[in-house]
Structure formats: C-alpha cells, structure tokens
Amino acid sequence: MSATASTLLQPVPAANPAASAQEEIQRIFDLHRTTALRLRTSTVAQRIARLKRLRTVLLEHRQAVVEAGMNDFRRPATEVEMTELMPILMDISDACRNLKKWLKPRKVRPTGMMLGTTAWTRYEPRGRCLIIAPWNYPVTLTLGPLVPAIACGNTVMVKTSEVAPHFSTVLAQIIRKAFPEEEVAVFEGDASVATALLALPFDHCFFTGAPAIGKVVMQAASKHLTSVTLELGGKSPTIIDQTADLDTAVQTIAWGKFINSGQTCIAPDHIYVHQSVKEQVCELFRQYLTKWYGEGMAAKDAELARVINVRHTRRVAGLLDDARQRGARVVLGGAVDIEAHFVSPTLITDIPADAAIMQEEIFGPLLPIIPFDSIGEVIDRINAAPKPLALYVWTRNDATANQVIENTSAGATCINHVGVHFLHHHLPFGGVNHSGIGSYHGEWGIRAFSHERSILKTRILLARMFFPPYTPRLRRMVDLALKYM
C-alpha cells in the first residue's frame, strides 16, 4: 500500500536536521552494528518471543490506536480495528506459527555437472534495516514490514509519517515499549529526518509511499548499493462486464473504494463498465452510497473517514473541479468542505481523457465511471498506462478474466473482489515497475528481509577430471557432454 505523498513530501536536497537529531541517528546506527551481528545467531524461539511481545504491547495500545484514527482521519473505530489492528495480529500469528518452517535450510538436488556434491540454501538476516512508513494506514504499513524484519533477525530503524501525527506518536510508544533501542529504534519528524536516515549505508531499505518518492529512495539507496523493497501505488483499474453480478460488484467496489475516504493504494481508482450496464451500475452506486453515507453534505455526519488534511483535500477538490470544467458529469456527490477535510463519495462520468483525474492517482473519494464496448479497448487503455498495483475484474466469464490477466501486467489481480488479496498472506503482496519493486507478506516477507545464501559441499571431487592439461581425451569428454546437455 502507498500514500500519494509519504514522509518524503518532495525530493529533498542534502538534509540539515538539527545536529542533535543527526547525532542520535548516527548513534543508533552505530549501536545496531553490534546488535545485528549478535542477532544473526538468534534462535527461532527468541524471534518469536519478540513478536509476541509486540502483539502484547499493540493490544495494550488498542484504544490509543482507535483514538489516533479518530484524531487524524475521523475514522470509525470499527474501521480502524479492522484495517490497522487485525492485519498485524494476523501477521504475527502467521509468523509465529510458520517461522521455523520458513527459515529451515532447503536442500537442492545436484545437477549433472554437480554430481559428488551436496547443496542447500539458508535464510540469513540482511543486517541493519530501514523502514520508511506512510500516513494512510500507519499501523498496518509500519508494523507490517517490521514483523518479518524482526522474524528474520534484523535490527530496524523506523521512520513514521508526520502527516498522521497522532498515529506517529502512538507507534513510537508501541515500538519503544516493545523493543530496546539497540534492536528497533523509531524516529519521528519531517522529511529532513527521513533524508538523514537515507544517507546511511543500511543493508536493506523498505519504503511504502508514492512512486515519485520511491525514485528518491531508490536513488539514495543506490549510493550504498542498499537493496530495496518499494511498495508504491498508481491507478488501479476495475472492470465490470455485462455478465457480472452487478449488485455484488457495486457493493464490494463501493466498500473498497470509500473505506478510509479512498486513501488506499489498492482502492479501485476508476471503473470501466460495459456500455450495456452502465446506467444500472450508476443507479446501484447511488442506492448504496446514499443508504450507507447519505447524499452530498449529509455524508459529513456518516461513519466516513475524512481526507488526511487541508492540503490533500484541496488536491482532491482540484481533480474534481478540473474534471467538471472539462465537461465531466457528477452523478452523485461532489460536496466539498476544505476546512473540515471533507469530500463526499462522488461518482463522475463523461470524463475527457486529458482530465487530471485520468492521469493522477486519485487517492480520495472520487470514482470515475468509464463506459466500454469491447474488452480489447479496455486492455489497450490499461497497457497504455503505468503498470498498476492492483487490477480488478468483475465477470462471470472465465475467458474474459483470463484474457485480461494474460494481456496485462499488474502487481495483483482479484476476480470478483477488491483489495482482499492484501489480507491473503499465502500470496505475495507487491507491485511491478511503477507500482513497486519486491513483495512481502507471509513467507515473502522473510525473503524480503533475508539473504538467501547458497552453500555447496563437495564429497567427491569429480571436477578434477576437467583440470589441465587439456588432453585430446578431455576434449572428447567435453564434446560428449555438450552433445547431451
């Protein structure tokens, strides 16, 4: 998942945080050098104990997390617990249950050229890791990568997002209570703190945020050849064809789009709807959104999260105004209160291709509806844009779903659902190119925060038959080998 603007709001030149902050960052980084070496030999039981400690502390702060969601987003308590607490508790339980299996060395069969040897791989901690977290789901997207980082035996320095200040404070309290600073340290502050952290030669950097800032992170990491996992975003398209269960599709898309006021990197960004069912789909959206939230300004009193701040509310309102000025039609909603950080759930149709809303990740409660006649034209439009983090297809026709999957590229695809692949921890979660590099969740989190080391042991040195001198007999052996390879 990503935020349109993360901790690093803009590409930042060389940082000049207060000297004391720089000194503290360097002190912790130096301290982690010794700890990282010690943790390399930590046992699975010791790592599971650390994860269980995190779970205990997180549950102790349950009410504080709920209050932070209200203070930063006006998010309903149920929504906060479902999206911020439940995913992490599942992560920890899954890791505790499977960590021994995931970390077990894996033997591999010898190839024809490697007869006389045994070989295996083992997961080893990368060492000193950096996690830069976003603001849109602060607990899930901070502790989510922290769980596998700890499970792998790394030290971690965490940068929380100042854009969600109440969440940042609670996260700092949780991390400091759950871990000693020599194992996990947390830093709050503005972009200068993140930039100071990125200047250090970490062994791995995990960033969640906007693609533009992901490029900044990758550039900084390249100076030290630091490996990266980039969880980014983009415009995730949704397709509804004429065979879909329209009622189920609309309910599910409305839920996935407007939870957290659309500030979800895997939220449906826009919908391609078959021309023959467009009006029916629009009517169903009107019915459900009015029932759930109310129409226009009435939604201010509903259990509906707000946009994070004034700046982002202006940005979302600007996308709406630009679309209207270019001739787009608002089917539902369109109410805006900048100072209250409020934009009502809004449906928009008849949008020209050059409108800003069709170029930028919306990351807000605006939902464009675009009619189509053939699935081929939708595939062409998807392929003309950067590869999305998620792609959703609503159809009863398996051939249509397969056609979309086989002819597009995306981080993940759900057929007849939205967003829930994030919760399926037997699947990797991540993007592709513009929408991300690398993946995590479940066993893939172990891969992200570990080095898979290859080990080969020779029992019988058959290779000596290929040592010099290169006699005619050896040449015949090589010719024979090449013939049958």
Which sequence positions are flagged as catalytic?
A: 231, 265
**H or E, element range at 332:** strand 329-332
The distance between the two most distant Cα atoms of the chain, rounded to a whole number of Å, is 90
d(CA 297, CA 189): 35
Identify whether the C-beta of residue 66 lies closer than 8 Å to the C-beta of residue 77: yes
Q: Which residues contact 40 (CB under 8 A, 6 or more apart)?
A: 124, 125, 153
Q: Which residues contact 336 (CB under 8 A, 6 or more apart)?
A: 313, 317, 320, 342, 343, 344
**CB-CB neighbours of 368 under 10 Å:** 23
Amino acid identity of residue 468, one-letter, is: P
| DSSP codes of every residue in 120-188 | EEEEEE--EEEEE--SSSHHHHHHHHHHHHHHTT-EEEEE--TTSHHHHHHHHHHHHHHS-TTTEEEE-
Identify whether the C-beta of residue 51 lies closer than 8 Å to the C-beta of residue 150: yes
d(CA 103, CA 99): 6
**CB-CB neighbours of 40 under 10 Å:** 12
Smallest CA-to-CA distance from 95 within 439, 452, 441 is with 441
Task: Read off the tokens for 249.
Answer: 């599709």
